[in-house]
Structures are given as structure tokens and as C-alpha cells.
Amino acid sequence: MKLLITGAKGQLGTELVRQATEHACIAVDCDELDITDAGAVSAFAAEAKPDVIINAAAWTAVDRAEENIGAAFAVNRDGPAHLAGACARLGVPLIHVSTDYVFDGSKQGAWVEDDPIAPLGVYGASKAAGEAMVREHCPQHLILRTSWVFSAHGNNFVKTMLRLGREREQLGVVADQFGKPTAASELARVILAILPDMGGHWGTYHLAQPEATHWHGFAEAIFDEARRQGMALRIRQLDAIATSDYPTLAQRPANSELLCKKLESTFGITIRPWRESLVEVVAELRQQD
Ligand SMILES: NC(=O)c1ccc[n+]([C@@H]2O[C@H](COP(=O)([O-])OP(=O)(O)OC[C@H]3O[C@@H](n4cnc5c(N)ncnc54)[C@H](OP(=O)(O)O)[C@@H]3O)[C@@H](O)[C@H]2O)c1
């Protein structure tokens, strides 16, 4: 298939390009195709004539979104609207990636696709608006909500923890926000695996790796794995703290665990545990040292 991948230099975009070796890829980031530019998206898609567009472009800076509302909505709402329109004109599907932060975190237990959304911050609201645009403008769509994305490139929690773990002996990490860490590599693997079967299964799905944890539990796993692979760390004490002890501009959901049964049963796939992906990401980061 001919894939048009937007946001190709981000965490997910990089992994998609890396793994999509069986496909012809047109991989673009904002320097080549700014998805907020309606005319550019329309002209680029008409010229490229892809079989599918995979939108990995997004404004992902959750706290900065609070102070940059217009910019966050331009990328996360208007961008997907332009891509959805282009797909509809070409008669091809759009695979769009969304977030667990469309939920308010109040549910006991994992969120399912039909649960009511109620984002707490600008980032979540802009992504929710993007989902609505995709549904409205392009019937042939998959909206894949994911969470806590990490990889060996870009900015993410794993890289931040490893940096802090080298610099500091003591660290406090929030232990009352629950979710599912998800490697960009696994996201990309699953997206490419379901590509041939997506016809007729349009709609919204949750795609996150088992098992749920909190940020403190994830940090513990990161340090354990780094030590197991021989990384030198200064960190000796990892304290569990409350969200109220770590104020941020954006409020985050207390529980954003996504239930992924719909995706697994519809497409007959099994999502790997994030701990397996973490081993690979730490190994890749060690090679970069
Ligand atoms: N990261 C997470 O923890 C997380 C959690 C849940 C859901 N998600 C969703 O998962 C998807 C992939 O996230 P990710 O972590 O791979 O994101 P990422 O690493 O931040 O990559 C996003 C890419 O989009 C590019 N971009 C920004 N504005 C653009 C524009 N106007 N036109 C074209 N490209 C633009 C960015 O370029 P610049 O870097 O130059 O801005 C970057 O290369 C997104 O839809 C995100 O909302 C992410």
C-alpha cells in the first residue's frame, strides 16, 4: 500500500516509518506538510494519491497547551479535519491517533470506547475536537486512542526518568494517576498489522499496552530495567508522591486506563505488555550512549 504518514519525525511517526518496510511510504513532518494548512494538505494529498493517511502529527505538550490554546487546537482539531476532508475527497481511509486524556479519570476500572468523554485540559479538549472532525468528515476512519507513549526518540517519561536517575539520588514520582504506558513501536506494529483488515471495521478503538500502573510504578520499572542492563544510575530513593505534591499547569485524569478488548477481538491481535517493549527501548537508549 502507499501510506502517507504525517508527523513522521515524532515518536509514533518514526516507528511507523521504521517498520513499514513492506509499504511505499510518503513520510512528512511539519517542515514538509503543515497539517494546519488546509490548502497544503489538500494539494499534497491530491498529488501523492495515497491508499491511506496515517496521522501521527499532533501538539502533544500537555502543559504548554494550557497557554497556547489556539495553536493546540489548530494542530489537534483543524489538522485532522483537513486530513479527513482530503481522505474523503480521495475515497481513502484515515487512521487518526487520539488520547486517553479525552476522559476525566473519574471511572473505577478501565475506560471503554463508548464511555462519555470529558477532557480536563486544553490538550484533551483539542484531541476530542479532532476526533469529532474525523468522524464528521471521513466515514472511513479508525480513531485509535492511546496513552503514555514512550520510545527511544523524542521527549517522553522514560527518557526524563533516565536523565533524572543519573543526576539525582532521590526523586518523588506521582503514584495516584493510573494508566497504561505504550511504546511507539508497539503502536506502530499494531497499526501496520490491522491495515489490511480495516475495511468495514471503521470506528473508535483503544490501543494501549497491558498492564495498568501509576507513574511511580512505571518509574520503578524503568530504573529496574536500566540497572539490569548495566546503566549507571545515581538514584537511590524513589518516593511515591500525590498529584497535589506535583502541581502542573494542566490537570490530568486520575485514572485513564484504556480497555483494549474491542481492538483485540475485532482484528484478532494481541497487544504486547509494555514491560517487553521497555526492555527494547532501554537497550536502544544504551546504544545511543
Ligand atoms: N506522547 C504521549 O504520551 C501520547 C499519549 C496519548 C496519545 N498520544 C497521541 O499519539 C500520537 C502520536 O504522539 P507522539 O508522542 O508520537 O507525538 P510527538 O512525538 O510529539 O510527534 C508529533 C509530531 O507531529 C509534528 N507536528 C506538530 N505540529 C505539526 C503540524 N502542524 N503539521 C505537521 N506535523 C506537526 C511534531 O513536530 P514538532 O516536534 O516539530 O512539533 C512531531 O514531529 C498523537 O496523536 C498524540 O496526541 C500521545
Gap from CA of 237 to ligand 1 centroid (Å):
32
Per-residue pLDDT of the chain (289 residues; tens, 9 = 90+): 999 999 999 999 999 999 999 999 999 999 999 999 999 999 999 999 999 999 999 999 999 999 999 999 999 999 999 999 999 999 999 999 999 999 999 999 999 999 999 999 999 999 999 999 999 999 999 999 999 999 999 999 999 999 999 999 999 999 999 999 999 999 999 999 999 999 999 999 999 999 999 999 999 999 999 999 999 999 999 999 999 999 899 999 999 999 999 999 999 999 999 999 999 999 999 998 7
- Whether residue 276 lies inside any domain: the answer is no
User: Cβ–Cβ contacts within 10 Å for residue 168, how many?
Assistant: 13
Gap from CA of 56 to ligand 1 centroid (Å):
6
87: helix, coil or strand? helix
CATH of residue 15's domain is 3.40.50.720
**253 alpha-carbon distance from chain centroid:** 16
69: helix, coil or strand? helix
- Whether residue 285 lies inside any domain: the answer is no
**102 alpha-carbon distance from chain centroid:** 12
If one residue of 11, 60, 83, 144 were mutated to test the ligand 1 pocket, choosing by the most ligand atoms within 8 A of its CB, it would be 60
| pLDDT score recorded for residue 289 | 78
* Domain count of the fold of the chain: 1
Residue 46 in grid coordinates: 491530491
Helix axes 274-288, 184-194, angle to 10 degrees: 120
Among protein residues, the one whose CA lies closest to atom 43 of ligand 1: 10
Closest CA to 242 of 172, 195, 163: 172
- Whether residue 186 lies inside any domain: the answer is yes
Contact 222, 161 (CB under 8 A): yes
Closest CA to 245 of 221, 215, 223: 215
- Whether residue 140 lies inside any domain: the answer is yes
- Whether residue 51 lies inside any domain: the answer is yes
pTM of the model: 0.97
Catalytic (active site) residue 123? yes
- Whether residue 29 lies inside any domain: the answer is yes
| pLDDT score recorded for residue 259 | 98
Is beta strand 203-206 parallel, antiparallel or unpaired with respect to 170-174?
A: unpaired
- Whether residue 214 lies inside any domain: the answer is no
User: Domain containing 23: what range?
Assistant: 2-156+181-209
Per-residue buried b or exposed e for 35-54, using 16+ beta carbons within 10 Å of the residue's own CB:
bbbeeebbebbeebebebbb
Among protein residues, the one whose CA lies closest to atom 1 of ligand 1: 149
CA-to-CA distance for 82 and 208, rounded, in angstroms? 26
- Whether residue 166 lies inside any domain: the answer is no
> What residue ranges in 75-177 does DSSP mark as E strands?
94-99, 141-146, 149-150, 170-174
If one residue of 35, 148, 149 were mutated to test the ligand 1 pocket, choosing by the most ligand atoms within 8 A of its CB, it would be 149
